[in-house]
Amino acid sequence: MTGNITPSMGSGVNAGGSAPSSGPVTPSSALIPTSKESTNNNNNNNSHGSRRTHTIMSPEEANAGKRSFWSELELTGNIRNLSLEIFDLSHLTHLYINDNSLTKIPGDINRLVNLTVLDASNNKLRSLPPEIGDLCRLREFLLNNNYLRNFPCEMGRLFNLQTLSIKGNPLPADIVNLQAEVNGTSKLLTYLLDSLPGPWGGPWQPHEYFEHLWQEFCFLHYF
């Protein structure tokens, strides 16, 4: 992975920098700001509707040892592959990998358990990993302008998802039309969930699934 890495800190504080895929992803090389507060107008209101305001730490604050907590990460620079080290950053809540040349998202994405926003628009994605359904806190998922022809049924488990953008993909007409309806995101997730095989194959049956979990719990508790 090559390109720019922009970690954004809590309360909208941001530090910009770059790092190669061979090294760890840290904001240490990014603490060379140009001003105390700098707003990146290009990212403030992007074409996907997300609002990103970057505030850069001043040299005085950095030299004084001011601590920062960055919960957002933006990767730019025509990136083709994601370094697996990124998925060690389990504290991330926002990940912006849009406007690159990514052809896939690794299944390790499910290690970002706190992710609420994922923008993967304007890439070359042809599929999504089933593990995407493990991002139970995800609220906004942007996938515009890729090469996606279908979604994994596991996406139906994204129960907190409120915004799903899928324009510009060669998806089947039934999926596009369903998502375009009122409450389309919820309807599409239900459709995917209904298509998800149950523990023993066949249609997804929630009551059977939870009954199965209860039996396992009782068995483990007994022994």
Burial per residue of 13-52, b for 16 or more beta-carbon CB atoms within 10 angstroms, e otherwise = bbbbbebeeeeebebeebbebeeeebebeebeebebebeb
Spell out, as residue ranges, where the chain has pLDDT lower than 70: 1-56, 198-223
* Cβ-based neighbours of 154, under 8 Å, separated by 6 or more: 130, 131, 132, 133, 134, 192, 196
Homologous superfamily of domain range 4-171: Ribonuclease Inhibitor (3.80.10.10)
Q: Which two tokens stand for residue 216?
A: 């396992």
pLDDT at 109: 97
pLDDT at 26: 35
Q: Coil, helix or strand for 71?
A: strand
Report the chain's terminal Cα–Cα distance, integer Å.
Answer: 48
* Cβ-based neighbours of 220, under 8 Å, separated by 6 or more: none
pTM for the model = 0.69
pLDDT at 207: 54
Write down the domain spans for the chain.
4-171
pLDDT at 101: 97
Instruction: Find out whether 74 and 17 touch, Cβ atoms under 8 Å.
Output: no
pLDDT at 163: 96
Integer Cα distance of 113 and 183 in angstroms: 25
Q: What is the pLDDT of residues 143-175, one digit of tens each?
A: 999 999 999 999 999 999 999 999 999 999 999
Integer Cα distance of 10 and 143 in angstroms: 25
Q: Coil, helix or strand for 185?
A: helix
pLDDT at 196: 85
